[in-house]
Structure 1
Amino acid sequence: MKADRLVAVVDCGSTNVRAVVVDSNGVFTAQSSLPNKPSPQPGGMGWLIWNMDELWDRVRTVLRNVLSKVGKVDAVIVTTWGADGAPVKRNGELTYPPICWQCPRTIPIAERLPSIMNPWEIYRITGYQIISFNTLLKLIWLRENEPKALDEAYTWLMMPGLITHRLTGTFHIEPTSASTMMAMNLAKRDWSSEMLKLAGLDVGFFPEWFEPGDVVGYVTAKASEETGLAEGTPVVVGGHDTQFAILGAGVKHGEAVLSSGTWEILAVRSSVFNPSKVGFEWGVIIEADVEPGLWNPQLLMIASAVLEWVRERFYPELPEGYYETLIRDASGVQPGSGGLLFIPSFVKDSGPTRRFKTEGTLLGLTLSSSRAQVYRAALEGLSCQLKLAVNALVESTDFHIDAIRVVGGGSKNRLWNQLRADITGMPISVNS
């Protein structure tokens, strides 16, 4: 690739939508971001969905912002969070909106699934634990509650596919996001008919497989008008943001990657798919790597969402995503946070504490407890969670971890990085 060639990366997270233009040396030449959040589904059930028109509006806005600075780009790629997707008609129209991973409607399905299929067998096939937001559970919910949404659909697209379709008009699915569905035969990097039958589906319902890096289509005239991208610009297959963070971190032997954002994912790259009983008990999940023939054993843990919960309740005067005041205040608090113990198990069926069935807990409050102590206790609790995750990966994979490389928004919190190092006893490096 020539040095002057540019790629626009649409990095669509559940809390921020970002566009970055990168040159062939990996240098960011322009970037723009907007906050992102799910919408309450009309009906007052407390359900959450993604409004695709609003999400697309954010995507095209950040693209226009970066293109105003650099002009034309040579290619586009899309990465997003995993687990969420939607059924679509042949013209791309949704038959049901994407159900958000935070929506509680699938919890009863997760609770009853072990009586239908052995959780260990599910793990052995898919590499996935039963977590309430898994895509397969949403498909089962649709089959039971909104069957027309599936019956009238042409196919199913995960979030990268939904955005890519708006750019190109093409349908595709790729292994990195599909591996978050709990529906793949992960050893074969293909669908599991046995898992899909649980939702009354077969492999023919899903679009053609593409691999990350393939050209899936080209920017249409309509998408060009909406985004500012030149018509005919190649759109390259992306996928699940976590796997791309792992690839981009450039980890060395013995290093684990900690992708830190709303969720934290501690992962390694492995040349074998080896779901073990130990990993199953610890809550380890395994996803498809960007590169065929590799897999990503990992621990999925709630992270910055906990810190945002603290900010909302104890620092309500501060804007969303602003942490400098919290970090400054907590830096003046002694280790131990005045006796406060914070267990960050806010999503109890994920992370290394799932085996203990622990729920989110704050212990040790007194009349003299301060909000700075609460925030530091949350950071300490998250760092202890990381230590448990390291132990779990080492025990279940025989992968020796002696250093951790942190990427993502959570890597910018200097106090958190220091606590990670102190509590794990490992060097912490941060990608610039």
Structure 2
Amino acid sequence: MTPTVTVDIGTTSIKLCLFDAEGALQAADRCATPTRRDAWGEIYDTDAVMDAVRSFVDALDPAARRAVQCIVIAGVGESGGLVDPDLSLVSPMILWHDHRGADLLTGLTEADRARVYAVTGLPVNANYALSKVAWALAHAERSTAAAQWLNVSEYVAALLTGRRWAEPSLASRTMALDLVGRRWSREVCGLFGVDPGVFPPLRAASEGFAMDPATARAWGLDEVTVHVAGHDHMVGGVGADLRPGEMLDSTGTTEGVLALLRTPRLDAVTAATKLAGGLACDGDGFTLFASIPTGGSAFATLRTLLDREADELADLVARAHRDWVLGSVDLDRLPLVLPQFRGSPPPRKDATARGAIAGLQTDTTAVELVLACFLGMVRQFAEVWELFDLELDRVKVIGPASANPLWLQLKADYLGVPLSVSGFPEVVSRGAQALAHGIRLPWSASEPRDVPPDTARTAELAQWRARTADRWAHLAEMPA
């Protein structure tokens, strides 16, 4: 490999790293993902995004900066905007969870929806880019004849190179890509009145473009190649050396559940689960993916609900973990928490769904409420995994959950399967460097540790799950 700057554009933050030629982390920083609101919703502040990347490069030691030969960008899927050949924006750069194109989905018939899944592997949903593309084309204030849709990661790459292209795993999150044919689908695009020519040609993560020489000189860089690594959760799968039979639990603001497949699952049974099919970043395999809207964001919810500072909440989590492993928790005392604080996961997949708490008592403690919240998150997580209908040998965990022993132990105990938890904080960024250089890194490079399940607690949780099944179903079925 070569010395590489990686950029991971997440929902909450942008992670920036410098790796040396051996893949060792030399520098890292992060900043809040810069966004603002327009008349319809939330959009990226693209100038501020570029300023964040430039600031990181500027802060590098001059010798380290001159040694950089590669810049690789990963990030959230489903976001994007229309970009002219001169790289000016014809539309806002829209965030993944923005639903400004949702009205365009209402006219689709059930047959249309079934066909969309059979071709693209995606359930019809306003998160995916195609309805945003149709909205942007309809609301453009100038000609869109030469404009192309770029994901935010692809747009940053375009600004650095002057070239427009689409990375396959990100393309498979648009709801416009034929998964089997690996080409833009004229049939599905036609349902929205979109010419597939609005999407640029595909280019694999290993196939970069040279950085614009003038830009490179201005940034104090020599000859640099720019790559788009792909969808952040899928790039994390590469960093985790994910294999068939394993599940990647990619935690962040949301929680991603990812499995690798040798062939895509485009049948009606899988379509009913609303799991998302896609292309793996390495270009060879396929993915099956679910996004759980409430992941790390639960911390902010609990801080607000309990009116606690971050360190106070961390203390409550630690106390809940201690009580759990010591066997001093009475599960029947805990409230039942349905943690749909930001919407529901598959198969309901309703952005308007909200959480619920049942069974509060006059003497329910803050520790019990925290434990109940994480237990609800784990229960929801396990129900999503059941939709995959795959054998599970091991769960690989990356992201903030790696530092939360309560969350980890509850998962291991609930699933009855060992977790292998990354000790390296930037698995996605390491995966991005590996992808750009066309190699695989072993999972051992992420310094994993095992979290084994406790068989007694697994049995106890199974009994609790059965006792509370009716109440859980009632909460889940409440109207949004």
Is 1:379 matched with 2:369?
Answer: no
The question of 1:202 aligning with 2:201 is answered no
Residue from 91, 98, 104 that aligns with 1:96: 91
Which AA in structure 2 matches 1:86?
Answer: G
The Cα shift of 1:36 comes to 1.7
Map 1:319-330 → 2, pairs under 5 A: 324-330=314-320
Partner residue, 2:346: 351
The residue matched to 1:235 in structure 2 has which SS? strand
Change (3 A) 1:332 1:283: same
TM-align CA RMSD: 2.6
Cα distance in 2 for residues equivalent to 1:262 and 1:360: 16
- 8 Å CA contact retained: 2:206, 2:227: yes
Identify which of 247, 251, 262 aligns with 2:242. 251
**1: CA distance between counterparts of 2:359 and 2:373?**
13
Percent of aligned pairs sharing the same letter: 23
Aligned partner of 1:188 among 181, 189, 192: 181
Larger mean CA deviation between 295-304 and 338-347 belongs to 338-347
TM-score w.r.t. the length of structure 1 is: 0.87
Name the residue aligned to 1:314.
306
Say which one has the larger Rg: 2
Contact 2:50 2:156 in 1 (8 A): yes
Distance 2:15 2:313 in 1: 19
Q: Cα distance 1:253–1:187, how it changes in 2: closer, same or farther (>3 A)?
A: closer
Give the secondary-structure state (helix, strand or coil) at the position aligned to 2:101.
helix
**Partner of residue 359, structure 2:** 364
Q: CA shift at 1:382, angstroms?
A: 1.4
Does the CA contact (< 8 Å) of 2:244 and 2:260 recur in 1?
Answer: no
Match of 2:321 in 1: 331
Matched to 1:172, the amino acid is W
Q: Are residues 323 and 121 of structure 1, via their aligned partners in 2, closer, same or farther at CA, if it must alter by over 3 Å?
A: farther
Distance 1:358 1:88, change over 3 A: closer
CA-to-aligned-CA distance 1:88-114 (integer Å, 9 cap, x gap) = 12211111211222334334444x154
Judged with a 3 Å threshold, the aligned counterparts in structure 2 of structure 1 residues 104 and 362 are, in CA distance, closer, same or farther, namely farther
1:266-345 matches, cutoff 5 A: 266-302=257-293, 303-315=295-307, 317-318=309-310, 324-331=314-321, 334=329, 336=331, 338-345=333-340
Corresponding residue of 2:167: 174
Structure 2: 5+ residue runs without aligned partners? 324-328, 424-480
Q: Secondary structure at the match of 1:187?
A: coil
Task: Report the 3-state secondary structure (helix = DSSP H, G, I; strand = E; otherwise coil) of the residue aligned with 1:388.
Answer: helix
Structure 2: distance between partners of 1:218 and 1:75: 9
**Residue 8 (structure 2) pairs with residue 11 (structure 1):** yes
Q: Distance in 2 between matches of 1:163 and 1:306?
A: 30
* Alignment check: 8 A CA contact 2:247 2:258 kept: yes
2:122 is aligned to 128
Q: How many pairs are equivalent?
A: 415
Q: Secondary structure at the match of 1:151?
A: coil
Quote the residue 1:40 is aligned against: 37
- 2:46, 2:332 → 1: CA distance? 42
After superposition, the Cα gap between the structure-2 partners of 1:262 and 1:294, relative to the gap in structure 1 and judged at 3 Å, is: same
Letter in 2 for 1:365: L
Query: Displacement of 1:60 after TM fit?
Result: 2.0
Q: Are the structure 2 counterparts of residues 287 and 332 from structure 1 closer, same or farther at C-alpha, using a change threshold of 3 Å?
A: same
Q: Does 1:80 align with 2:112?
A: no
- Specify the SS of the correspondent of 1:325: helix
Q: Structure 1: where are the runs of 5+ without partners?
A: none
The question of whether the paired residues in 2 share the 8 Å contact of 1:268 and 1:297 is answered with yes
Instruction: Give the whole-Å Cα distance in 1 for the aligned partners of 2:249 and 2:191.
Output: 33
CA separation of 1:384 and 1:353: change in aligned 2, threshold 3 A: farther
> What is the alpha-carbon distance in structure 1 between the residues aligned to residue 359 and residue 386 of structure 2?
26
Alignment of 1:62-77 (within 5 A): 62-66=56-60, 70-71=64-65, 72-77=67-72
Q: What whole-Å deviation, never above 9, does each CA across 1:92-150 have from its counterpart, x for those lacking one?
A: 1111211222334334444x154375322111111111222111111222244x04466
Contact kept, 8 Å, 2:69 with 2:223, in 1: the verdict is no
> Structure 1 pair 63/54, CA: closer, same or farther in 2 (3 Å)?
same
Amino acid paired to 2:420: S
1-side partners of 2:42 and 2:278: how far apart?
25
Q: TM-score, normalised by structure 2?
A: 0.79
Change beyond 3 A, Cα 1:336–1:142: farther
Larger relative contact order (CA 8 Å, sep ≥ 6): 2
SS in 2 for 1:64: helix
* Residue 67 of structure 1: how far off its partner (Å): 5.1
> 1:99 corresponds to which letter in structure 2?
I
The one-letter code of the counterpart of 1:161 is E
CA deviations on 1:172-222 (whole Å, 9 max, x unpaired) are 111111111111101111111112223322222222221111022324423
C-alpha separation in 1, matches of 2:28 and 2:250 = 20
Compared CA separation, residues 8 and 67, structure 1 to 2 (3 A) = farther
114-123 or 374-383, which moves further after superposition?
Answer: 114-123
Aligned letter for 2:127?
F
Tell me which amino acid in the other structure corresponds to 1:268: A
Alignment equivalent of 1:241, drawn from 218, 232, 235: 232
Change (3 A) 1:198 1:190: same
Residue equivalent to 2:396? 405
Preserved CA contact (<8 Å) 1:265 1:301: yes
What is aligned with 2:417?
Answer: 426
CA distance in 2, matches of 1:70, 1:91: 31
1:137 to 2:134 alignment: no
